[in-house]
Amino acid sequence: MTQTVRILLIGLGNLGRRFCDLLAQKGPEVEARYGLRLVLVGAADSRGSAYDPAGLDPARISALKQAGGTVADLPGVGSADRTAADLVGTAEADVLCEASPVNLQRGAEPGLTHVRTALQRGLHVVTPNKGPLVLAYRELHDLAAQHGAQLRFDGTVAGGLPALYLGQRDLRGATVTRIEAVPNLCTGYVLELLGDGLSWEEAKARARAEGVLEADPSFDLEGWDAAAKLVILVNAVMGIPARLEEVDRTGITGLSGADVVAAREAGRVYKLVATAERRPDSRADLRVAPTPLPADHFLARLGRKQMGVIYHTDIYGTIMAAIDEPTPMPSAATMLRDILDIYVPGGYPVAFDRRGTENAELVS
């Protein structure tokens, strides 16, 4: 009983390309373990798209993108005229993976339109793109419910760490009173370099060379990225309809290297911390600010390529989680996690059973 899942992938940058690698690498295993055949039927980048109901070759697309090409050039299936929006609006598919670049400044477009269109067509949507969720969290959930579609966005917060699943699902029944998070890599990395004595220019250059910092780093360094992630966390985990404008936001650019070094000498570690505190009126105080954490604070201990989150709860104590993510692969893999969450919702024993039968020996 194999079920075919037809996937549209929009955006073939850092995450989209790696998701193609994942489909190539993990496809057979996912089919064997979960009975799901993941077929990439459409893919789009900024120059055009490719579409083939019989399935595109994800490994070939990844290679093409690494070589600087476009799927528009794929013989027989590529087109420079059919845009990503065209593909989302017309292609036969089951799931949209929306991995186009985050763009909060321009109304989260084109991602927001892609997500809306797909949900209206009844496609499930899986996206690591923060923009649409930050700007239209509730609208998109309502739209999904109206059209019987699922919306998953685990990759929007803290890369490959399942921070949202942990908070939404495993803390069901609890009241989350406080969230503290270092939800991205970039600022922690720069702060650590500053603490090591590098100048701002040196630190930015190093982070950029490592691929941790975008060409225009202000989105990260001014705290917008952390604020956007905090808004999603608060909506999803606290159930509070928070908005970006409510975040009291301070970036790290106001810190000097000397500040960071002095804090370190005093046994403290600067991190750009995003905090949400539930108020008695069922709203939350939201704050993003560089914070000199005591050295034994969970978030102070995060390494250079690590992100983390802390949930303070009424009945589950305090739960802390972190990820070490040396490459963007875990962030890309959240799309696979989300797809499996949609199609194999209660499927843990299934996973065991299918593999278990390969073993002659039983536990009992």
Collect all residues with Cβ–Cβ distance below 8 Å to 155 and sequence separation of at least 6.
15, 127, 128, 331, 332, 334, 335, 338
- Provide, rounded to whole angstroms, the least separation between the CB of residue 58 and a copy of itself: 14
Site string for a copy of itself, 131-160 (x = CB under 8 A): ----xxxxxxxx-xx----xx--------x
* Residue 225 CB, nearest approach to a copy of itself (Å): 18
Contact 273, 293 (CB under 8 A): yes
Please say which residue, 25 or 253, places its beta carbon nearer to a copy of itself: 25
Following CA atoms 144, 48, 104, 288 in sequence, which dihedral angle do they give, to the nearest 10 degrees?
A: 90
Total binding residues toward a copy of itself, as defined by CB under 8 A = 79
Smallest separation (angstroms) from a copy of itself to the CB of 186: 16
User: Site residues for a copy of itself, window 166-195 (CB under 8 A)?
Assistant: 166, 168-170, 172-174
351 contacts a copy of itself (rule: CB under 8 A):
yes
Stretch near a copy of itself under the rule CB under 8 A, chosen from 57-65, 92-100, 219-227, 239-247: 239-247
> Which of positions 198-227 make contact with a copy of itself (CB under 8 A)?
none
Angle made by CA atoms 187, 190, 193, in degrees to the nearest 5: 150
- Tokens 């650590």 sit at which residue? 192
Sketch the per residue contact string, 260 through 299, with a copy of itself: x for CB under 8 A, - otherwise: ----------------------x-------------x-x-
d(CA 272, CA 247): 14
Contact positions with a copy of itself (CB under 8 A) in 71-130: none
Among 26, 37, 204, 208, binds a copy of itself (CB under 8 A): 26
Residue 48 CA to residue 81 CA, distance in Å, equals: 6
Residue among 117 and 150 whose Cβ is closer to a copy of itself: 150
Among 44, 194, 236, 286, binds a copy of itself (CB under 8 A): 236
CB of 77 closer than 8 Å to CB of 91:
no
The label of the residue with tokens 């370099």 reads 193
State the DSSP string of 292-338: EEETTSTTTT--TTEEEEEEEESSS-EEEEEEE-SSSHHHHHHHHHH
CB of 255 to a copy of itself, least distance (A): 24
Residues 6+ apart with CB under 8 A from 83: 44, 48, 49
Measured from the CB atom, the residue of 43 and 323 that comes closer to a copy of itself is 323
